[in-house]
Amino acid sequence: MNRPKRIILTLLLALPILAFIIHHYTAHSRELHPTGFTVDENVLYMSYAHQYLDQSSFSLGYSNPFSGDPQSPKIYFQPATLLLAGVLKTGADPGLSFTLFGLLMAIACIYMGIKILEHLLPGNKYLVLICVLFTWGGGLSALAGIGAGLYTGMPLHAWRDAIYIADPANGWWGLNWGRTLFIPLEAFYHFLFLLNIYWILKQKWKAALITAALLSISHPFTGVEYLLIICGWAGLERVVIKDKYIPAWFFTGNIILLMLHVGYYLFFLQQFEEHRQLFSQYRARWTYSFRVFIPAYALVIALCIWAARVKKGWAVLLSNPIQRLFLCWAIIAFLLSKHEWFIPAMQPIHFTRGYIWAGAFLLALPGLVVLLNSNKRNIFQRIVRVFFIGLLLLDNTFWVYNQLREKATVEWEGHITQDTKDVFNYLHTHTRPDDLLIGNAQLVNYMANVYSPANAWVSHPYNTPMIYDRDDRMDHYLGTGEKPAEWKSRRIMLIVDKRLPEMKISPLLQGEKIWENTTYTIILPHK
């Protein structure tokens, strides 16, 4: 496949993501305005980027924007965050910038996937179809969910919602490869991951090590996942099989990167009290059961078994180091996604993100090729082939259809009212980093870091240190007027969402009303 055809195929495969973005900006009620944040968690990353704009002097690191303290230590760094901060510096819209970044990264990731498949299957006549299956293939999650729904008495017309029964977080945890491309930063991480694999396939070891370092500093979960996969594979080749395919220095280099990665996240950051508080909150048992992972990976596992059969056994299928790489990829990624079996859970499902599925798919390529090459004159074989291809594409077909049929009618991070937009415009021009936002306007408190220099006392549920204690202290202040010690030198801005039940506010705090619209009131308390 020449470069123009590869580019055209890439753009065609990216159409579902483009349709999703266009849908976000067009499918909403009149009173709502799209922010560009297509997933609520996307607000986090542009909040990180905005920290660079609020610094009095430039620093490579940024602080936790949800600490509520502008003096919070600047101990975090990701290259994508710095890049996005540069985009924000130009005055670009945060949500649109993030979404366009994600689209570009998704296109780059799809392109790299095609390059890998071209390398593995040079001249294969079914290459285009295989690229489609790798990008948008899935499992039996949708059918498993529908089956479970019907078994429990769900009416047949409710199948659209039932597809999520076996697909965590309404499918947003990305149990197959293509699903993760709808999440901007995940698309970036996945691009780096595939770029690393491509360098290894081409035996460009130095480039692979450099890209591994970039991936390591880009994300804690994907970074350690990649490094454990490569170190596991390289250790198998160098130590167990005694194969010299991998240079010893490459193995050593990845071991060092892994040690540095673990040292930064588990030792250096632990020196800071605020991060230790966050770390304890990160210990969430976000896991998945066999009822979820079996249907998600059933088809690619079946393909792997088929591949071993057509190759006359697992020994032949795994006779070369690249096939062993794919096996290590799938197994290590799966064990990480179930690490609660071995150690305390640290958001284990974060390690799914399509990595298990993709490793198994590439391992099963020899079986898929044989299936596609089966006798076209045999009607039974043709039916099996078409049926299997349809099954592979079913999960994402249903999921994308569900996304594109929905219309935003209630306010959330992705679609806000004009009143909420006006609050952000006011905070953008009338606040400074020392200002502290309190009150019951949860959406404003969460998103304020993106649109203003102000900091909120209670914001994101996992990134706000000691969030429950902070809730109690804020309520105590509002009820009694007794200001917490750490607020003494700061301007307090009380933001009241008038749509919610009336807040209990001490008469001592009935201060100056500095801004108001139909939905919100901003007050400067007397104390």
| Residue 47 pLDDT exceeds 70 | yes
Contact 139, 43 (CB under 8 A): no
Which of 184, 187, 223, 181 shows the shortest CA–CA distance to 87? 184
What's residue 347's pLDDT?
84
Worst-scoring range by mean pLDDT, 48-62, 356-370, 404-418? 48-62
| Structure confidence at residue 286 (pLDDT) | 81
Going by pLDDT thresholds of 50, 70 and 90, the confidence category of residue 343 is confident
Confidence check: pLDDT of 345 > 70: yes
Average pLDDT over residues 340-363: 90
CA distance 407 to 400: 13
Q: Quick check: 187 and 177 in contact, CB under 8 A? A: no
What Å distances lie between residue 317 and 120, 306, 327, 370, CA to CA?
Answer: 14, 10, 10, 13
- Predicted confidence at residue 403, as pLDDT, reads 95
Residue 376: predicted pLDDT: 66
Mean pLDDT of the chain: 93
pLDDT for the residue 255: 97
Mean pLDDT across 268-293: 85
Residue 408 has pLDDT above 90, yes or no: yes
Look at 346 and 520; give whichever has higher pLDDT: 520
Phi-psi region of 484 (alpha: psi -120 to 50; beta: other; left: phi over 0): beta
Model confidence band, residue 467 (pLDDT cutoffs 50, 70, 90): confident
Q: What is the pLDDT of residue 27?
A: 96
Which whole number is the average pLDDT over 150-173?
87
Least confident among 99-103, 150-154, 289-293, 425-429: 150-154
Q: What is the pLDDT of residue 415?
A: 97
Q: How much is the average pLDDT of 486-504?
A: 90
Counting Cα atoms < 13 Å in the Cβ hemisphere of 367 gives 25
Residue 23 is predicted with a pLDDT of 97
> Above 80 in pLDDT, residue 282?
no
